[in-house]
Amino acid sequence: MSAHCQLTGAEPGFGNNISHSHRRTSRRFDPNIQRKRYWLPSEGRHVRLTLSARAIKTVDTIGIEAAVARIRARGGKV
């Protein structure tokens, strides 16, 4: 599963681990990505979305229809 949110576009950030001796090694900061299934009444089917935890809260607020419209406006496939 790629660490990419369909709604918000959240992707991994990159940085460094810094040890006690101050040596630096590369690391990734992954968003909290979950796969969630929603019922889409306008199309009469379920859709499975890859969303960050923050995006799941956004869907709860704006509704699944508006969220799918935003994903499609970004050029995403649902």
Q: Reduced to 3 states, what is the DSSP secondary structure of residue 72?
A: helix
* Whole-angstrom distance, CA of residue 73 vs CA of residue 62: 15
Span 4-21, average pLDDT:
97
pLDDT at residue 65, rounded to an integer: 97
pLDDT at residue 76, rounded to an integer: 92
Q: 16-70, pLDDT tens digit by residue?
A: 999 999 999 999 999 999 999 999 999 999 999 999 999 999 999 999 999 999 9
Q: Reduced to 3 states, what is the DSSP secondary structure of residue 20?
A: coil
pTM of the entire predicted model: 0.86
pLDDT at residue 1, rounded to an integer: 53
Residue 49's Cβ-count burial label (10 Å; 0-12, 13-18, 19+) is buried
DSSP track, 27-56: EEE---EEEEEEEETTTTEEEEEEEEHHHH
